Protein backbone atom coordinates (compact mmCIF):
# COMPACT_ATOMS: atom_id res chain seq x y z
CA UNK A 1 0.00 0.00 0.00
CA UNK A 2 1.17 3.54 -0.72
CA UNK A 3 0.87 4.92 2.80
CA UNK A 4 -1.22 4.50 5.92
CA UNK A 5 -3.35 7.23 7.34
CA UNK A 6 -3.22 7.74 11.07
CA UNK A 7 -6.46 6.93 12.83
CA UNK A 8 -7.10 10.61 13.59
CA UNK A 9 -5.97 11.99 10.21
CA UNK A 10 -8.07 15.06 9.36
CA UNK A 11 -11.52 13.65 10.02
CA UNK A 12 -13.71 12.58 12.88
CA UNK A 13 -16.18 9.73 12.47
CA UNK A 14 -19.45 10.06 10.60
CA UNK A 15 -22.75 8.78 11.97
CA UNK A 16 -24.79 6.61 9.64
CA UNK A 17 -28.35 7.77 9.18
CA UNK A 18 -30.94 4.99 9.27
CA UNK A 19 -32.29 3.85 5.89
CA UNK A 20 -35.19 5.98 4.75
CA UNK A 21 -34.28 8.95 6.94
CA UNK A 22 -34.36 12.51 5.63
CA UNK A 23 -30.56 12.56 5.67
CA UNK A 24 -30.54 10.21 2.69
CA UNK A 25 -31.23 13.22 0.47
CA UNK A 26 -28.09 15.02 1.68
CA UNK A 27 -24.60 14.58 0.22
CA UNK A 28 -23.33 11.17 1.28
CA UNK A 29 -20.47 12.35 3.45
CA UNK A 30 -19.68 8.93 4.86
CA UNK A 31 -19.27 7.31 1.44
CA UNK A 32 -17.20 10.28 0.26
CA UNK A 33 -14.93 10.06 3.29
CA UNK A 34 -14.46 6.31 2.83
CA UNK A 35 -13.63 6.96 -0.81
CA UNK A 36 -11.20 9.75 0.09
CA UNK A 37 -9.30 7.68 2.65
CA UNK A 38 -9.02 4.64 0.42
CA UNK A 39 -7.90 6.73 -2.55
CA UNK A 40 -5.06 8.08 -0.41
CA UNK A 41 -3.97 4.51 0.22
CA UNK A 42 -4.42 2.98 -3.22
CA UNK A 43 -4.00 6.03 -5.42
CA UNK A 44 -6.74 7.54 -7.59
CA UNK A 45 -7.29 7.72 -10.46
CA UNK A 46 -6.56 4.02 -10.90
CA UNK A 47 -5.49 2.83 -14.35
CA UNK A 48 -8.00 0.58 -16.06
CA UNK A 49 -6.65 -2.93 -15.94
CA UNK A 50 -7.75 -3.78 -19.49
CA UNK A 51 -9.76 -2.49 -22.43
CA UNK A 52 -11.51 -5.46 -23.94
CA UNK A 53 -14.34 -4.90 -26.38
CA UNK A 54 -17.73 -5.23 -24.63
CA UNK A 55 -18.48 -8.74 -25.93
CA UNK A 56 -15.11 -10.05 -24.77
CA UNK A 57 -15.61 -8.34 -21.42
CA UNK A 58 -18.99 -10.06 -21.12
CA UNK A 59 -17.39 -13.48 -21.62
CA UNK A 60 -14.59 -12.63 -19.21
CA UNK A 61 -17.06 -11.48 -16.55
CA UNK A 62 -19.11 -14.64 -16.90
CA UNK A 63 -15.97 -16.72 -16.38
CA UNK A 64 -15.08 -14.75 -13.25
CA UNK A 65 -18.21 -15.62 -11.24
CA UNK A 66 -17.11 -17.19 -7.95
CA UNK A 67 -13.64 -17.71 -9.40
CA UNK A 68 -10.29 -16.19 -8.50
CA UNK A 69 -8.96 -13.63 -10.96
CA UNK A 70 -5.94 -15.74 -11.86
CA UNK A 71 -8.10 -18.75 -12.77
CA UNK A 72 -10.70 -16.79 -14.74
CA UNK A 73 -7.96 -14.87 -16.56
CA UNK A 74 -6.24 -18.12 -17.50
CA UNK A 75 -9.54 -19.54 -18.78
CA UNK A 76 -10.18 -16.45 -20.90
CA UNK A 77 -6.69 -16.66 -22.40
CA UNK A 78 -7.24 -20.36 -23.07
CA UNK A 79 -10.37 -19.53 -25.07
CA UNK A 80 -8.39 -16.98 -27.06
CA UNK A 81 -5.59 -19.47 -27.65
CA UNK A 82 -8.01 -22.10 -28.92
CA UNK A 83 -10.37 -19.91 -30.99
CA UNK A 84 -8.67 -16.54 -31.27
CA UNK A 85 -11.10 -13.61 -31.19
CA UNK A 86 -13.75 -15.59 -33.06
CA UNK A 87 -16.61 -15.75 -30.58
CA UNK A 88 -18.78 -17.33 -33.27
CA UNK A 89 -16.43 -20.31 -33.22
CA UNK A 90 -16.85 -20.56 -29.44
CA UNK A 91 -20.62 -20.30 -29.88
CA UNK A 92 -20.67 -23.17 -32.38
CA UNK A 93 -18.06 -25.41 -30.73
CA UNK A 94 -18.74 -28.72 -29.00
CA UNK A 95 -19.86 -27.77 -25.47
CA UNK A 96 -17.60 -30.46 -24.04
CA UNK A 97 -14.59 -28.86 -25.70
CA UNK A 98 -15.47 -25.41 -24.35
CA UNK A 99 -15.90 -26.93 -20.89
CA UNK A 100 -12.48 -28.58 -21.14
CA UNK A 101 -10.80 -25.34 -22.21
CA UNK A 102 -12.23 -23.39 -19.24
CA UNK A 103 -11.83 -26.25 -16.77
CA UNK A 104 -9.90 -24.09 -14.31
CA UNK A 105 -12.89 -21.94 -13.34
CA UNK A 106 -15.59 -22.92 -10.88
CA UNK A 107 -18.52 -24.79 -12.42
CA UNK A 108 -17.15 -25.07 -15.98
CA UNK A 109 -19.94 -27.53 -16.75
CA UNK A 110 -22.43 -24.69 -16.16
CA UNK A 111 -20.44 -21.79 -17.56
CA UNK A 112 -19.59 -23.39 -20.92
CA UNK A 113 -23.21 -23.94 -22.04
CA UNK A 114 -24.29 -20.63 -20.51
CA UNK A 115 -21.68 -18.66 -22.44
CA UNK A 116 -22.65 -20.45 -25.64
CA UNK A 117 -26.35 -19.79 -24.97
CA UNK A 118 -25.64 -16.09 -24.46
CA UNK A 119 -23.61 -15.90 -27.66
CA UNK A 120 -26.45 -17.58 -29.54
CA UNK A 121 -29.00 -15.21 -28.03
CA UNK A 122 -26.99 -12.13 -29.01
CA UNK A 123 -26.76 -13.49 -32.55
CA UNK A 124 -30.53 -14.05 -32.63
CA UNK A 125 -31.31 -10.57 -31.33
CA UNK A 126 -28.74 -8.61 -33.30
CA UNK A 127 -27.92 -10.70 -36.36
CA UNK A 128 -24.23 -10.55 -35.44
CA UNK A 129 -21.92 -11.20 -32.51
CA UNK A 130 -21.13 -7.71 -31.30
CA UNK A 131 -22.12 -5.46 -28.41
CA UNK A 132 -20.72 -2.29 -29.93
CA UNK A 133 -24.27 -1.01 -30.41
CA UNK A 134 -24.44 -0.42 -26.65
CA UNK A 135 -22.60 2.86 -27.21
CA UNK A 136 -25.83 4.22 -28.71
CA UNK A 137 -27.81 3.51 -25.52
CA UNK A 138 -27.96 5.22 -22.19
CA UNK A 139 -26.31 3.31 -19.35
CA UNK A 140 -29.67 2.17 -17.86
CA UNK A 141 -30.87 1.05 -21.29
CA UNK A 142 -27.68 -0.83 -22.03
CA UNK A 143 -27.65 -2.54 -18.65
CA UNK A 144 -31.30 -3.54 -19.00
CA UNK A 145 -30.55 -5.04 -22.42
CA UNK A 146 -27.61 -7.01 -21.05
CA UNK A 147 -29.62 -8.24 -18.08
CA UNK A 148 -32.19 -9.60 -20.50
CA UNK A 149 -29.61 -12.19 -21.54
CA UNK A 150 -29.71 -15.56 -19.74
CA UNK A 151 -27.52 -15.58 -16.64
CA UNK A 152 -26.52 -11.89 -16.79
CA UNK A 153 -27.13 -9.93 -13.59
CA UNK A 154 -26.29 -6.44 -12.32
CA UNK A 155 -22.64 -7.17 -11.54
CA UNK A 156 -21.96 -8.49 -15.03
CA UNK A 157 -23.83 -5.69 -16.78
CA UNK A 158 -21.96 -3.09 -14.72
CA UNK A 159 -18.63 -4.79 -15.46
CA UNK A 160 -19.30 -4.69 -19.21
CA UNK A 161 -20.17 -1.00 -19.06
CA UNK A 162 -17.33 0.03 -16.75
CA UNK A 163 -14.42 -2.33 -17.45
CA UNK A 164 -14.67 -2.70 -21.22
CA UNK A 165 -13.64 -0.19 -23.86
CA UNK A 166 -17.09 1.41 -23.43
CA UNK A 167 -15.85 3.16 -20.23
CA UNK A 168 -19.36 4.13 -19.09
CA UNK A 169 -20.39 5.07 -15.53
CA UNK A 170 -21.64 1.92 -13.80
CA UNK A 171 -20.79 0.46 -10.39
CA UNK A 172 -19.93 -3.24 -10.15
CA UNK A 173 -20.13 -4.72 -6.65
CA UNK A 174 -18.16 -7.89 -5.97
CA UNK A 175 -18.01 -9.81 -2.70
CA UNK A 176 -15.08 -7.76 -1.34
CA UNK A 177 -16.75 -4.44 -2.16
CA UNK A 178 -20.00 -5.69 -0.62
CA UNK A 179 -18.26 -6.85 2.56
CA UNK A 180 -16.64 -3.45 3.13
CA UNK A 181 -19.93 -1.67 2.45
CA UNK A 182 -21.77 -3.84 4.98
CA UNK A 183 -19.14 -3.60 7.71
CA UNK A 184 -18.84 0.17 7.40
CA UNK A 185 -22.62 0.53 7.48
CA UNK A 186 -23.13 1.86 3.96
CA UNK A 187 -25.74 -0.85 3.46
CA UNK A 188 -27.57 -3.12 5.90
CA UNK A 189 -26.38 -6.74 6.24
CA UNK A 190 -29.73 -7.87 4.84
CA UNK A 191 -28.94 -6.39 1.40
CA UNK A 192 -27.37 -9.10 -0.75
CA UNK A 193 -24.75 -8.47 -3.43
CA UNK A 194 -27.26 -8.31 -6.30
CA UNK A 195 -29.66 -5.76 -4.79
CA UNK A 196 -26.74 -3.79 -3.34
CA UNK A 197 -25.89 -2.47 -6.81
CA UNK A 198 -28.98 -0.26 -6.86
CA UNK A 199 -28.59 0.84 -3.24
CA UNK A 200 -24.90 1.71 -3.48
CA UNK A 201 -25.19 3.39 -6.88
CA UNK A 202 -27.90 5.64 -5.44
CA UNK A 203 -25.42 6.82 -2.80
CA UNK A 204 -22.81 7.92 -5.35
CA UNK A 205 -22.56 11.62 -6.28
CA UNK A 206 -24.56 12.03 -9.52
CA UNK A 207 -21.78 14.14 -11.02
CA UNK A 208 -19.14 11.40 -10.69
CA UNK A 209 -17.49 10.36 -13.93
CA UNK A 210 -16.95 6.81 -15.14
CA UNK A 211 -13.37 7.06 -13.86
CA UNK A 212 -14.46 8.10 -10.36
CA UNK A 213 -17.02 5.29 -10.16
CA UNK A 214 -14.42 2.81 -11.39
CA UNK A 215 -11.98 4.12 -8.78
CA UNK A 216 -14.58 3.69 -6.05
CA UNK A 217 -15.19 0.06 -6.92
CA UNK A 218 -11.48 -0.66 -7.19
CA UNK A 219 -10.53 0.87 -3.83
CA UNK A 220 -13.41 -0.85 -2.04
CA UNK A 221 -12.43 -4.18 -3.63
CA UNK A 222 -8.73 -3.74 -2.85
CA UNK A 223 -9.50 -2.83 0.75
CA UNK A 224 -11.57 -5.99 1.07
CA UNK A 225 -8.78 -8.09 -0.42
CA UNK A 226 -5.90 -6.61 1.60
CA UNK A 227 -7.36 -5.46 4.93
CA UNK A 228 -11.06 -6.22 5.42
CA UNK A 229 -10.69 -9.97 5.08
CA UNK A 230 -13.62 -12.36 5.15
CA UNK A 231 -12.17 -13.94 8.29
CA UNK A 232 -10.06 -12.04 10.80
CA UNK A 233 -10.10 -8.56 9.21
CA UNK A 234 -7.03 -6.46 10.07
CA UNK A 235 -9.00 -3.79 11.93
CA UNK A 236 -5.91 -2.65 13.83
CA UNK A 237 -4.41 -1.23 10.61
CA UNK A 238 -7.62 -0.14 8.90
CA UNK A 239 -7.90 3.51 7.84
CA UNK A 240 -11.69 3.19 7.99
CA UNK A 241 -11.86 2.11 11.63
CA UNK A 242 -13.39 5.39 12.80
CA UNK A 243 -16.13 4.94 10.19
CA UNK A 244 -16.73 1.23 10.75
CA UNK A 245 -19.21 0.10 13.43
CA UNK A 246 -18.24 -3.55 13.05
CA UNK A 247 -14.53 -2.82 13.23
CA UNK A 248 -15.00 -0.79 16.38
CA UNK A 249 -16.96 -3.65 17.90
CA UNK A 250 -14.25 -6.14 17.00
CA UNK A 251 -11.54 -3.93 18.50
CA UNK A 252 -13.59 -3.57 21.68
CA UNK A 253 -13.76 -7.35 21.96
CA UNK A 254 -17.41 -7.80 21.09
CA UNK A 255 -18.67 -10.61 18.83
CA UNK A 256 -18.89 -9.71 15.12
CA UNK A 257 -22.41 -9.50 13.66
CA UNK A 258 -23.33 -12.94 12.38
CA UNK A 259 -24.73 -11.74 9.06
CA UNK A 260 -21.97 -9.37 7.97
CA UNK A 261 -18.91 -11.61 7.87
CA UNK A 262 -19.47 -12.95 4.39
Would 9 be classed as within a structural domain? no
CATH code of the domain containing 131: 1.10.340.30
The range of the structural domain enclosing residue 117 comes to 54-163
Q: Are residues 121 and 214 in the same domain?
A: no
Would 109 be classed as within a structural domain? yes
Q: Are residues 155 and 197 in the same domain?
A: no
Query: Last residue of some domain: 130, 163, 196?
Result: 163
Q: Of residues 255 and 56, which shows the higher confidence score? A: 56
CATH code of the domain containing 213: 1.10.1670.10
CB 166 within 8 A of CB 55: no
Q: Is the pTM of this model over 0.75?
A: yes
pLDDT at site 50: 85
Would 102 be classed as within a structural domain? yes
Residue 52 has pLDDT above 90, yes or no: yes
Q: Give 253's pLDDT tier (boundaries 50, 70, 90).
A: confident
List the catalytic residue out of 28, 30, 155, 215: 155
SS3 per residue for 179-237: HHHHHCCCCCCCCCHHHHHHHHHHHCCCCCCHHHHHHHHHHHHHHHHHCCCCCCCCHHH
Q: Does residue 30 have an active-site annotation? A: no
Q: Does residue 155 have an active-site annotation? A: yes
Amino acid sequence: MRRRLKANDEQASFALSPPGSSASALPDEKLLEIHRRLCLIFGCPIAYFRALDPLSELVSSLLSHRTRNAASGAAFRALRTRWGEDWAAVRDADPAEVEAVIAGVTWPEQKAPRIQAILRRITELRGELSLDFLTEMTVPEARAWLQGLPGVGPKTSAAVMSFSSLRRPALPVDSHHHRVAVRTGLIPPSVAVGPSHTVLEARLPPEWTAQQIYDHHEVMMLHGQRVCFYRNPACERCVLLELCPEGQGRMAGGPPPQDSRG
